[in-house]
Amino acid sequence: MKLSDLKIIVTGGAQGMGAHFAKRIAEAGGSVAIGDVAEDKLAEVVASSKDLSGTIVGKRLDVSDEASIGEFVEWSHKEMGGLNGLVNNAGVLRDGLLVKKDRETGEIKKMGAKQWDLVIGVNLTGATFMVRDVVAKMAETGSKPGVIINMSSLARYGNRGQSNYVSAKAALAANTVTWAREFKRFGIRVGAIAPGMIETPMTQGMNPKAREGLIKMIPVGRVGVPEDIWQAVQFIIECDYFNGRCIDVDGGLTM
């Protein structure tokens, strides 16, 4: 597929990687509908795209809300005059050990259902329903070829203190294979990208000591930037022979 032919949704598009992807697609002449809960930042991204070759439109989207997803997909299709892709980028972190012992009191503490459900709700259930509704719309309208890109994570291999996040991101990588097989009848390819540590608002909020420790473990010697991941996004979009696989873009980091 050509970038200029895209009519694509980017979730989590108000900042970080999502905003970067949207701008790069619009620079190439494509159309992008960005969704996020941060409406003020959505407006900033839309405003900054006025002079680009393509277009960016934005609307509030809460991927943890099934009704919000359905409404957003219908709106995006109408605004762009079609729909042929999705970058499943929205995500949240709520890290913590599944079971831990307080060093001072000896009290045993467990990860709560709220902490688990929030991360699974956004990163897995919401991402899955985004795929479902986008593919359903494309199948209904006969729009093809199409492409779905799931943002997994290096954490999919397992990482201490991230049981909730690991579960979601590992499932997305596995379902990339499942969906590639299911959606071939609709002419839709499905790929995934597993970023390592990337400079985004989410990683900037990490514990400083944990962040510094991770950086020291990266063989290329630096934190990644959204452009590093964009190059993988562009490859998946443009390479029509790529399907059902996950690309790790992590600077050589292993956890």
pTM for this predicted structure: 0.93
- Note whether residue 255 is domain-resident: no
Average pLDDT over residues 219-226: 92
Q: Two tokens at 198?
A: 């990337």
Q: Which candidate in 165, 179, 183, 230 is catalytic?
A: 165
Domain of 225? 3-249
Q: How many helices (H) and strands (E) does the chain have?
A: 9, 9
What CA–CA distance (Å, rounded) separates 173 from 195?
12
- Note whether residue 124 is domain-resident: yes
Q: Is the predicted pLDDT of residue 209 greater than 90, yes or no?
A: no
- Note whether residue 171 is domain-resident: yes
- Note whether residue 190 is domain-resident: yes
pLDDT band at 210 (very low <50, low <70, confident <90, very high): confident
pLDDT at residue 12, rounded to an integer: 96
Cβ neighbors of 75 (< 8 A, separation 6 or more) are: 33, 59
Of 145, 149, 134, nearest in space to 186 by CA: 145
CA of 133: how far to CAs of 78, 85, 129, 155, 255, in Å? 14, 11, 6, 26, 34
pLDDT, tens digit, 9 for 90 and up, residues 35-76: 999 999 999 999 999 999 999 999 999 999 999 999 999 999
* Region for 147 from its dihedrals, namely left if φ exceeds 0, alpha if ψ lies in -120 to 50, beta otherwise: beta
- Note whether residue 111 is domain-resident: yes
- The count of structural domains within the chain is 1
Q: Domain of 119: which CATH number?
A: 3.40.50.720
The dihedral built from the CA positions of residue 87, 60, 33 and 181, taken in this order, carries a sign that is positive
Average pLDDT over residues 86-96: 94
Check if 165 is active-site: yes
- Note whether residue 193 is domain-resident: yes
- Note whether residue 146 is domain-resident: yes
pLDDT at residue 88, rounded to an integer: 97
Higher pLDDT, 117 or 203: 117
pLDDT, tens digit, 9 for 90 and up, residues 137-177: 999 999 999 999 999 999 999 889 999 999 999 999 999 99
What CA–CA distance (Å, rounded) separates 170 from 217?
22
pLDDT at residue 211, rounded to an integer: 76
- Note whether residue 254 is domain-resident: no
Among the ranges given (26-30, 93-97, 123-127, 140-144), the one the predictor scored with the smallest mean pLDDT: 93-97
SS3 of 86, please?
strand
